Amino acid sequence: MNTLVLNRTNLLDNGKNNTLVYRFPRSVQFKDAQIAVSQVSMYYSWYNISAALGNNTFSYVWPGYGVRKYVTIPDGLYEISDINSYLQSQMIANNHYLVNASGNFVYYISIEVNQSRYAVQINTFKVPTSAEASAASLTDPSGGSFVFQGANLAYNPVVEIPAGFNKIIGFDEDFETDPNEGGSFSVPGNQTYISKSSSNTLSYISHSYSGSTYTAGTPDVQPNSSVLINIDKVVNEYAQPTGILYSVVPNVAIGSLINERPAEYSFAKLTDGIYNELRVQFLGTDLQEISIQDPEITLLLVIKNASS
C-alpha cells in the first residue's frame, strides 16, 4: 500500500479551505486500485450560522410601540447560549432592557436550551408599566426613556422566527410569539409546548403546528453535523456524488482538534486511468461545498493496487 499525505500546502486557493489537490510527481496509472482514509486531523471550524447559509437573522417587536428590530448574527459558530448573549447585546444597543436595584440588567426575551425536552425554549416576559417598574425598583438604562409602557396595558415582546433561523432552534418557519396584550393570551388546550405563568411569562418549547396538531420540533443547531470527504477519482455506483469516501463527525468542542483514525480501512475503487492529480473536497451534509475557517488540515490516504 502507498500513503499520500495532504495538508494545508495542498489547499486550493478558493477562500474556503475545502479542497485539497495532490499532484503526483509524475503521471500514475490506476488499474483495479482502491483508496481509503487513514487519518484526518482538522479543527472543528465550519460555521453553523452565516449569511451564506441563510440562517443568521430574526427579529423582535417591542411591546406597545410596534417597533420591530432585526437581529443579524455575525457569521460564526454558535451554541444556543451564544445566540441568547448576542440577542441581549442587541437589546442593550436598542435600550430594550431595565436595570434593577442591584444594577443588573433585566431582559424581557430569552432563548435557552431545555435539556430535559431536547428542545430550545423561547421565553417572553411582561414589560412593566412605569408604575410597575417604579414599584419594583426597575429603572431605565442610562440615556434611555423609551422602554416603559407608560399606559396600564401590559405586553410581552414578540419574537419573529423567519425561514432559515427557524431550523436552528426547531420552530416552524415564520413562527411568532404572542404579545399577550393585557394578559389576554390563553394557552391552546391539550398541548404541552406553550405555557403561561401567573406573572405573564410565556414559554415556548420548539415545536411545529399543523391544523390543530402540535408536534415536537428538533433543533438543528449545526446544519452540517458531519463533513463528507469526496474524491474525484473514486467511483461508487451506489453513492451520489459517486466520490464520497468518508464522513468526519466532530466529536469535540467547537474550535477543538478533530483527530480521527478509522478502526479499519473502508476502501473504494479508483477509476481506471492515467492521472497526474487527486482532488479531495469537503462537503456538508447537504452535499454542498462547505467553508472551513481553519486551514490546518492533515489528511492521510492509502492506495492499494490489485497486487497489494
Averaged pLDDT, 166-184: 94
DSSP assignment, residue 188? P
Q: In which residue ranges of the chain is CATH 2.60.120 found?
A: 2-46+224-304
Mean per-residue pLDDT over the chain, rounded: 91
Q: What percent of the chain has pLDDT over 90?
A: 76
At the second CATH level, the architecture of 2-46+224-304 is Sandwich (2.60)
Averaged pLDDT, 142-152: 58
| Burial of 246 (C-beta count, 10 Å sphere; 0-12/13-18/19+) | buried
d(CA 77, CA 49): 6
CA dihedral 38, 43, 49, 50 (to 10 degrees): -90
132, 12 in Cβ contact below 8 A? Answer: no
Sign of CA dihedral 82, 87, 92, 97: negative
Q: What percent of the chain has pLDDT over 70?
A: 95
120: left (phi over 0), alpha (psi -120 to 50) or beta: beta
- The answer for residues whose C-beta is within 8 angstroms of residue 213's C-beta and 6 or more apart is none
DSSP assignment, residue 289? B
The pLDDT value recorded for residue 151 is 52
d(CA 288, CA 79): 23
CA distances from 44 to 12, 144, 184, 230, 290 (A): 19, 41, 46, 18, 12
Q: Which of 103-107, 109-113, 172-176, 239-243 has the lowest mean pLDDT?
A: 239-243
d(CA 76, CA 97): 25
Confidence of residue 172 (pLDDT cuts 50, 70, 90): very high
The pLDDT value recorded for residue 307 is 63
Cell of 169: 432552534
Confidence of residue 157 (pLDDT cuts 50, 70, 90): very high
User: pTM (2 decimals)?
Assistant: 0.87
